Amino acid sequence: MHGAKISSQSLDASKDGGANRYWTSTTLSSASTTVASTLGLMAKNRRLFVLPELVAQVKGLIAAHRGEVTAEVTAATTLTEAQTTALAEKLKASVGKDVKIDVTVDESLIGGLVVKVGSRMIDTSIRSKLSALQNVMKEVG
Angle at 87 between CA 77 and CA 124, to 5 degrees: 60
Same domain, 78 and 129: yes
Q: Which helix (H) or strand (E) holds 1?
A: none
At 69 the three-state DSSP class reads: strand
Say yes or no to pLDDT of 15 above 80. no
| 113 exposure class (CB count in 10 Å sphere: 0-12, 13-18, 19+) | middle
| 13 exposure class (CB count in 10 Å sphere: 0-12, 13-18, 19+) | buried
Residue 93 is predicted with a pLDDT of: 95
**Alpha-carbon distance values, 98 to 61, 94, 131 (Å):** 15, 10, 33
Q: How far apart are the first and last CA of the chain?
A: 71
> Has residue 58 been placed in a domain?
no
Same domain, 79 and 109: yes
The domain tally of the chain equals: 2
Read off the pTM: 0.62
> Has residue 1 been placed in a domain?
no
The pLDDT tens digits for 50-93 are 999 999 899 889 988 999 999 999 999 999 999 999 999 999 99
The pLDDT tens digits for 85-132 are 999 999 999 999 999 999 999 999 999 999 999 899 999 999 999 999
Average pLDDT rounded to a whole number, residues 13-41: 58
Average pLDDT rounded to a whole number, residues 6-35: 48
